[in-house]
């Protein structure tokens, strides 16, 4: 059954935002925890509710593309083309900030990440409150991003003023973040819009390495934090089902309880009836959309070790495997 939202609830949420409070709302990627991006105290409440490090900047959400000119010194040609091609949609564009927004939104950087989400509830909320809304994912820091209102409630009940429930989100992983403050734009975080989608519009771009060395300052501050840290270690096991069975048997011999996080095809190959199933291997979009819910399910199980299937890095698989690798402690 689809969860419903009403205009009345959106009006209520908009009023909370306008009065400096925090409200979680659905986007097409994951749920965001929103606050007025011009109000430093309101933005501080986001960091407090999430337990988020103060040096990790927030994404600003707008309801109309032409509003960006209020927040940036200029709009590079590459950014204009990307906005035309992908907004509203899962693409966050890093632009030179003009300093209008609350300082803590950008965590002291001279750039700001902005996106126009492609979700009817998010767009209606942004239109109603008439504010730029700072919104990181609506999870406690270190937990998977929320793809349902229940996930948000689990992490943030008692810490935020409200949740607008728009049902399960679509893409299931966060937006692609691209830095357009440099001549050759660079993807800082893979997401719903793929590298080849972007290159079809603006030509060759760079991709930041997802491996950040210790003591090195990454271009995107969020990349230095280990997100999605699960309770039990996750090992990604490449190769076929026999490889995964071998690793599972070895763990069992050590006396460890094992759970597998796999496609339905792999579960069949293994003959495991209680596997946590992500979907069909032939539908990477579906697998991506289910990933965070599955990671949360695994946290609720009391197991010693999780073995995850390795998927193709083609298309959306790039974002899927980026998130899975960041949750994992080993790739074998
Ligand atoms: O899909 C999404 O992007 C979701 C929904 C709610 O819109 N939001 C989200 O926000 O994932 P968050 O805060 O969890 O991730 C924002 C990422 C972080 O890695 C942060 O470091 C990076 O964007 N970021 C934000 N502003 C930046 C800036 N000015 N320069 C570089 N990186 C920036
Ligand atoms: Mg996040």
Query: Which CATH number is 312's domain given?
Result: 3.40.50.11030
Answer yes or no: is pLDDT of 304 > 90.
yes
Q: How many alpha carbons lie under 13 Å from residue 320 in its C-beta half-sphere?
A: 26
Q: Is residue 215 part of a domain?
A: no
pLDDT at residue number 225: 56
Find out whether 276 and 297 touch, Cβ atoms under 8 Å: yes
> pLDDT digit string (tens) for 254-285?
999 999 999 999 999 999 888 999 999 999 99
Cβ(26) to ligand 1 under 6 A?
A: no
Query: What span, in angstroms and rounded, lies between the C-alpha atoms of 45 and 62?
Result: 20
- Interval 135-148 mean pLDDT: 95
Cβ(28) to ligand 1 under 6 A?
A: no
pLDDT at residue number 230: 76
The answer on 247 and 107 residing in a single domain is no
Q: Tell how strand 133-134 and strand 59-61 pair up.
A: antiparallel
Answer yes or no: is pLDDT of 188 > 90.
yes
Answer yes or no: is pLDDT of 200 > 70.
yes
Q: Whose CA is nearest to atom 3 of ligand 1?
A: 175
Answer yes or no: is pLDDT of 299 > 70.
yes
CA of 223 from ligand 1 middle (Å) equals 10
Query: What span, in angstroms and rounded, lies between the C-alpha atoms of 235 and 99?
Result: 43
Rg from Cα positions in the chain: 20
- The ligand with the least distance to the CA atom of 61 is 1
Find out whether 145 and 323 touch, Cβ atoms under 8 Å: no
Cβ(188) to ligand 1 under 6 A?
A: yes
Cβ(29) to ligand 1 under 6 A?
A: yes
**Shortest-distance atom of ligand 1 to CA 171:** 1
Query: What span, in angstroms and rounded, lies between the C-alpha atoms of 89 and 132?
Result: 16
- Interval 238-250 mean pLDDT: 96
pLDDT at residue number 186: 98
Q: Counting Cβ atoms within 10 Å, is residue 7 exposed (0-12), middle (13-18) or buried (19+)?
A: exposed
Residues lining ion ligand 2 (Cβ < 5 A) are 137
Q: Is residue 217 part of a domain?
A: no
Residue whose C-alpha is closest to residue 310's, from 302, 322, 298: 322
The answer on 181 and 248 residing in a single domain is no
Find out whether 154 and 276 touch, Cβ atoms under 8 Å: no
Q: Whose CA is nearest to atom 12 of ligand 1?
A: 136
Would you place residue 8 in the very low, low, confident or very high pLDDT band (cuts 50, 70, 90)?
A: confident
ipTM over 0.95: yes
Q: Which of 207, 242, 264 delimits the end of a domain?
A: 207
The answer on 186 and 50 residing in a single domain is yes
CA of 295 from ligand 1 middle (Å) equals 20
Query: What span, in angstroms and rounded, lies between the C-alpha atoms of 168 and 125?
Result: 17
Q: Which of 22, 29, 177 to mutate to test the pocket of ligand 1 (most atoms within 8 A of CB)?
A: 177
Answer yes or no: is pLDDT of 1 > 50.
no
pLDDT at residue number 70: 97
- Interval 175-193 mean pLDDT: 97
Answer yes or no: is pLDDT of 142 > 90.
no
Q: Which of 162, 192, 207 delimits the end of a domain?
A: 207
Its domain, for residue 72, covers: 2-207
CA of 10 from ligand 2 middle (Å) equals 23
- Interval 72-97 mean pLDDT: 98
Q: Is residue 225 part of a domain?
A: no
Q: Which two tokens stand for residue 157?
A: 């009940």
Residue 72 backbone dihedrals phi, psi, to 5 degrees? -125, 155
The answer on 255 and 160 residing in a single domain is no
> pLDDT digit string (tens) for 214-233?
445 555 665 555 567 678 89
Cβ(218) to ligand 1 under 6 A?
A: no
The answer on 242 and 168 residing in a single domain is no
For the chain, report the end-to-end CA distance as a whole number of angstroms: 40
The answer on 303 and 156 residing in a single domain is no
Q: Is residue 160 part of a domain?
A: yes
pLDDT at residue number 2: 39
How distant is the alpha carbon of residue 51 from its chain centre? Answer: 16
Q: Which of 207, 222, 257 delimits the end of a domain?
A: 207
Query: What span, in angstroms and rounded, lies between the C-alpha atoms of 200 and 13?
Result: 38
- Interval 112-138 mean pLDDT: 97
Cβ(92) to ligand 1 under 6 A?
A: yes
The larger pLDDT score, comparing residue 6 to residue 61, is at: 61
Percent of the residues in the chain that have a pLDDT greater than 70, as a whole number:
92
DSSP string, 45-66: HHHHHHT--TTSPPEEE-SSGG
Answer yes or no: is pLDDT of 295 > 50.
yes
Cα 205 to Cα 78, 88, 115, 257, distances in angstroms: 10, 21, 19, 44
pLDDT at residue number 209: 82
Torsion of CA 194, 200, 204, 206, to 10 degrees: -10
Residue 186 backbone dihedrals phi, psi, to 5 degrees? -135, 130
The answer on 198 and 99 residing in a single domain is yes
Torsion of CA 134, 138, 139, 145, to 10 degrees: -100
pLDDT at residue number 226: 58
Q: Is residue 214 part of a domain?
A: no
Q: Is residue 223 part of a domain?
A: no
Q: Which two tokens stand for residue 150?
A: 């229940």
The answer on 113 and 248 residing in a single domain is no
Answer yes or no: is pLDDT of 314 > 50.
yes
The answer on 150 and 282 residing in a single domain is no
Domain count, the chain: 2
pLDDT at residue number 3: 45
Torsion of CA 283, 236, 59, 89, to 10 degrees: -10
**Shortest-distance atom of ligand 1 to CA 97:** 29
């Amino acid at each position: 059954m689809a969860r419903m939202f009403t205009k009345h609830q959106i009006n209520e949420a908009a009023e909370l935002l306008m009065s400096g409070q925090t409200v979680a709302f659905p986007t097409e990627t994951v749920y965001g925890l929103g606050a007025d991006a011009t109000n430093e105290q309101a933005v501080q409440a986001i960091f407090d509710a999430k337990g988020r490090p103060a040096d990790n900047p927030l994404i600003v959400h707008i309801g109309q593309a032409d509003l960006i000119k209020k927040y940036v010194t200029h709009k590079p040609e590459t950014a204009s083309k990307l906005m035309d091609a992908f907004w509203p949609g899962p693409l966050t564009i890093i632009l030179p900030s003009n300093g209008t927004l609350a300082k803590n939104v950008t965590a002291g950087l001279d750039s700001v990440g902005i996106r126009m989400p492609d979700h009817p509830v998010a767009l209606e909320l942004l239109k109603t409150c008439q504010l730029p809304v700072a919104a990181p994912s609506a999870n406690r820091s270190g937990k998977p991003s929320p793809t349902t209102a229940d996930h948000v409630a689990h992490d943030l009940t008692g810490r935020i003023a409200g949740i607008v429930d728009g049902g399960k989100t679509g893409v299931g992983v966060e937006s692609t973040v691209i830095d357009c403050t440099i001549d050759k734009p660079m993807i800082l975080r893979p997401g719903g819009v793929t590298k080849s989608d972007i290159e079809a519009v603006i030509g060759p771009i760079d991709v930041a390495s997802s491996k950040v060395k210790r003591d090195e300052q990454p271009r995107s501050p969020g990349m230095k934090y280990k997100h999605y840290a699960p309770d039990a270690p996750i090992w990604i096991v490449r190769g076929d089902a026999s490889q995964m069975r071998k690793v599972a048997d070895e763990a069992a011999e050590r006396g460890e309880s094992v759970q597998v996080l796999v496609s339905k095809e792999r579960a069949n190959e293994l003959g495991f009836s209680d596997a946590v199933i992500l979907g069909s291997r032939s539908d990477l979009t579906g697998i991506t959309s289910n990933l965070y819910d599955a990671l949360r399910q695994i946290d609720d199980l009391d197991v010693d070790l999780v073995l995850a299937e390795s998927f193709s890095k083609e298309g959306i698989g790039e974002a899927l495997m980026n998130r899975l690798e960041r949750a994992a402690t080993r790739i074998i």
